[in-house]
């Protein structure tokens, strides 16, 4: 990074001082919890390992601690999606210090079309690095997969319970719809855990950083079909698979095609089973 920009950002008031100056108290209804320790935000950004000279999309920047670390680690551009107008002045000041490397979209992240955002700013390669608002984190993630062209990686903070569901293996208690959807479409792994004491105000849950990369998908893959299949099966997760598969056709025939037992339950099916089932459903109306 340009030495002048580096010095200008480091001369800004601390994050805690910025919060006091602009009266930026966290709003519980927006799931706002701030990290004040720049050593921790630097560590989170370094976990991404590809921020330098890249375009980074950040959701819910708040007072800008993670944003500062993204910039100080060499990001070429940071596109911030921030719904809360209270943070805009502090973020604009950070933008000035970074020599206008920040673009601020004062929008609700749930209403942002990621594909259109990338096209709007003519981004060739980008990644998302964000401390997501936990109340909408899962919904945002499901909106973003499969990745649109121009996005290659996400390094995201979730509450630990959700992160563990994302990476859960078949047959385990936490294996479910989220594990299947993310497991089929992405490679995901937990990189580090963060205690409640790292945040202000302190949340009641532990947090985890998870990194998500896009898998190459079969040309016949249909996300909507996979979501429908998993919803139907896991709505009756204690039922034997033969009873729920009847909604898609002859359950015994489907079991034979998938090489599974009719007595199995939804959490016992592998990612490969679900991927093949979704392809079968999308290809054939009458199995």
Same structural domain for residues 28 and 170? yes
Contact, 57 vs 50, CB < 8 A?
Answer: no
Q: Which three-class secondary structure state does DSSP give residue 187? A: strand
SS3 of the chain: helix, strand, coil, percent, to 5: 45, 15, 40
pTM given for the model? 0.94
- 236 plus 139 within the same structural domain: no
Q: What is the mean pLDDT of the chain?
A: 94
Residues 208 and 240 in one domain: no
Residue 287, pLDDT score? 45
Residue range 236-286, pLDDT digits in tens:
988 999 999 998 889 999 999 999 999 999 999 999 999 999 998 887 655
Task: Let me know whether 8 and 133 are in one domain.
Answer: yes
Statement to judge: residues 76 and 199 lie in one domain: yes
DSSP calls for 56-117: EEEE--TTSHHHHHHHHTT-SEEEEE---GGGHHHHHHHHHHTTS-EEEE-S-GGG--HHHH
Token pair 């599974």 is found at 260
Question: Same domain, yes or no, for 50 and 172?
Answer: yes
Name which of 162, 195, 203 is nearest 40 in CA terms: 195
Task: Check whether residue 139 and residue 45 sit in a common domain.
Answer: yes
* Residue 231: domain span: 223-283
pLDDT digits (tens, 9 = 90+) for 119-178: 999 999 999 999 999 999 999 999 999 999 999 999 999 999 999 999 999 999 999 999
Give mean pLDDT, residues 50-68: 96
Number of domains composing the chain: 2
Identify the CATH number of the domain in which residue 259 sits.
1.10.8.100
- Using pLDDT thresholds of 50, 70 and 90, give the confidence band for residue 5: confident
- Phi then psi for 12, rounded to 5 degrees? -65, 155
Question: For position 282, what pLDDT does the model report?
Answer: 85
- pLDDT of res. 283: 78
Give the CATH number, domain containing residue 205: 3.40.50.150
Mean pLDDT of 3-11: 89
Domain shared by 23 and 59, yes or no? yes
> What is the tens place of the pLDDT at every residue in 219-231?
888 999 999 999 9
For range 182-190, the mean pLDDT: 97
The per-residue pLDDT for 286 is 53
pLDDT the model gives residue 285: 55
The model's pLDDT over 193-216, given as tens digits with 9 standing for 90+, comes to 999 999 999 999 999 999 999 999
Average pLDDT over residues 41-69: 95
């Amino acid at each position: 990074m340009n030495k002048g920009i580096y010095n200008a950002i480091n001369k800004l008031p601390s994050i805690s001082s910025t919060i006091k100056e602009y009266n930026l108290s966290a709003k519980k209804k927006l799931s706002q919890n701030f990290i004040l320790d720049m050593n921790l935000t630097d560590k989170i950004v370094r976990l991404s390992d590809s921020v330098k000279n890249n375009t980074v999309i950040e959701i819910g920047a708040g007072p800008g601690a993670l944003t500062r670390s993204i910039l100080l680690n060499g990001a070429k551009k940071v596109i911030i999606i921030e719904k809360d107008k209270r943070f805009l002045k502090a973020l604009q000041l950070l933008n000035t210090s970074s020599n206008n490397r920040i673009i601020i979209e004062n929008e609700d992240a749930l209403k942002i079309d990621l594909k259109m955002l990338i096209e709007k700013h003519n981004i060739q390669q980008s990644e998302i690095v964000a401390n997501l608002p936990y109340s909408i984190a899962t919904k945002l993630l499901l909106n973003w997969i499969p990745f649109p062209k121009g996005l290659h990686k996400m390094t995201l903070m979730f509450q630990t319970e959700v992160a563990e569901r994302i990476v859960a293996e078949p047959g385990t208690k936490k294996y479910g719809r989220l594990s299947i959807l993310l497991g089929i479409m992405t490679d995901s792994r937990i990189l580090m855990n963060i205690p409640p004491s790292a945040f202000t105000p302190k949340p009641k849950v532990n947090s985890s950083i998870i990194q998500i990369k896009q898998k190459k998908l079969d040309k016949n893959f249909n996300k909507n079909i996979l979501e429908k299949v998993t919803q139907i099966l896991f709505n009756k997760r204690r039922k034997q698979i033969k009873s729920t598969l009847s909604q898609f056709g002859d359950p015994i025939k489907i079991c034979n095609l998938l090489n599974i037992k009719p007595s199995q339950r939804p959490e016992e099916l592998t990612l490969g089973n679900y991927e093949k089932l979704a392809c079968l459903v999308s290809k054939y109306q009458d199995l």
